[in-house]
Amino acid sequence: MRVTLIGVHSQLCMNHQPTNSVVGTEGVNGGTWSPSLSIKVIGQDVNVTAGDDAQLFCQVVDTSEPLTSITWQRRTKKKPTNAEFFITTSDGDEHINGLKDRLKFTGDISGPNGTIVLSNVTVLDEGIYTCIFSVFPSGPFETEVRLKVQVPPVVSVGTDVPAVAGDTEKIIATCTAADATPAAEVSWSLGVLTDSVKVKTNVTVDSEERYTVQSNLIANATKTLNQKKVLCLVKHPGLKEKLELNYTLNIYYPPQLVYIILAVDHEETGKFQCEADANPKPTTFTWSRRFPVQEPLSTGINSTLNNQLTPDSNGFYYCVVSNQHGDAVGSLNVQVKPYESMIEWFNPLYWDHTLAWWRGLFLLKYPLRDFQRKPNDPIDFIT
C-alpha cells in the first residue's frame, strides 16, 4: 500500500491549464484560505498475468471537500511521458483516450473512489499509472500505481540433435522456458543420474525484456543412458502451479546384438527374421550365405528372408544390419535332414530289426538256464 501526500502543485490535466502551488489566498469574506495538507490519495501496486484483467485501485481520504474530477495518466517503456487516458467529472461525464472498450471505471466519484479495471493486459500496458483527484478548493492530489505484467514462459524439453554413444561432454537434454517476464526458474529432478550428468543454465533477454532460460544436461553419451527418465521443473509467478515435464533421454548408437529367428511353415518354407538392438532403428538389412558379403541374397529395408528349405539350404545365413552410426552382423547355422531319413525312424520294420538285434545280444550275454522258473515264482508275460 502506498500513501502519497502531494499538496497543492502544478498539474496538467485534460482541458486544464497548469496551476501554481497555493500557499494562501483571499477568502470570500476577506479571510485567508489555506489548503488542507492532511488530504491523502492511496493506491496499490498490481502484478497480473498477461491476458488477465488488472484492477487499479486509488482513493482519496481525509477530506470533506467536494470532488470535481478524477484523472488517470500513465507512462510506459514505449511512451515514457505521462499521457492522460481517462477523466471522469462530478457531472458524470467520462472521457477515454486510446484504451476504448478495455477500460472500465468501477469507482465512485462521490466515494470518492477512482478505481479502474483494464482488461486483457499485455506487456505494453506495464508502467506507472498516476491517479489524480481534483478537490475544491484545495486542488489536485495524486498517487502512483505500478502495474507489473507477468508473462508465463513457453516451456519445452528435448534435444535438437540426439547425442551419439561415445560423444564426450554432449548436451543430452535441454529444458527451455522462453519469452517470460520475469525470468522463469528452471531445475531438474535426475534420480539415479544425479552423479553422472552436469547442469548448465543460460539466460538471455530480448529488447522487450522477455527472458529465455535454457537449462542443459551435459554428459558423456553412452548406450546405458538411452531411455533413462528425467524431469524438468519450471516455476514462474505467472503460472498457477509448478510445471513438471517428463523426458526420456534419446541416445543414438549403432546396431548391436544381431540375432536371426527361423520359423518354418507347413510348406517347408523358412522365414528368417533378423532382429537387432539399435537406435535409431536399422535402415538396411543385407542377407547373404557368406561373410564378408559377396553376393547378397537380398538387401534393403526388409528384415525378413523367405527361403524354401532343402538339403541344399544347409549352412550359415548371415544378416548385416546398418543404421547411420554403424553396422553389425548376426548368423544362423541351418541343417536340413532328408525326409527319407526322418521316415526311417517311424518304419515298423526298422524297429523290428532293431529289437531282434537287442534280443540276440541279450540271449548271448545271459544264458536261458539263469532265468529258469523256480516253484512258486510269478509268471511274466511279454506282449
Question: What would the CATH number be for the domain defined by 154-248?
Answer: 2.60.40.10
**Residue range 80-99: mean pLDDT, rounded:** 89
Residue bearing cell 530480448: 206
Give domain 253-376's CATH superfamily: Immunoglobulins (2.60.40.10)
CATH 2.60.40.10 spans which residues of the chain? 2-20+38-150, 154-248, 253-376
What number of other Cβ atoms are within 10 A of residue 250's Cβ? 17
Q: Return d(Cα 158, Cα 214) in angstroms, integer.
A: 11
Residue 109 scores a pLDDT above 70: yes
Of 76, 80, 82, the closest CA to residue 121 belongs to 76
For residue 109, give Cα distances in angstroms to 90, 98, 106, 132, 135: 7, 22, 10, 12, 11
- Position 6 scores a pLDDT of 33
Q: Worst-scoring range by mean pLDDT, 160-169, 207-216, 336-345?
A: 336-345
Q: Which residue has the higher pLDDT, 147 or 368?
A: 147
For 230, list phi and psi in degrees, rounded to 5.
-135, 165
**Residue range 77-91: mean pLDDT, rounded:** 92
When pLDDT is cut at 50, 70 and 90, the band that residue 229 belongs to is very high
When pLDDT is cut at 50, 70 and 90, the band that residue 130 belongs to is very high
Each residue's pLDDT tens digit, 239-249: 999 999 999 99
For residue 380, give Cα distances in angstroms to 29, 91, 373, 377, 383: 153, 131, 10, 10, 10
Question: What would the CATH number be for the domain defined by 2-20+38-150?
Answer: 2.60.40.10
Q: Which residues contact 98 (CB under 8 A, 6 or more apart)?
A: 83, 85
Residue 20 scores a pLDDT above 50: no
SS (H, E, C) 244-261: EEEEECCCEEEEEEEEEE
Specify the 3-state DSSP secondary structure of 228.
coil
Q: Return d(Cα 80, Cα 100) in angstroms, integer.
A: 21
Each residue's pLDDT tens digit, 72-82: 999 998 899 99
Residue 233 scores a pLDDT above 60: yes
Each residue's pLDDT tens digit, 279-333: 999 999 999 999 999 899 999 999 999 988 888 889 999 999 999 999 999 999 9
Of 218, 226, 232, 287, the closest CA to residue 254 belongs to 226
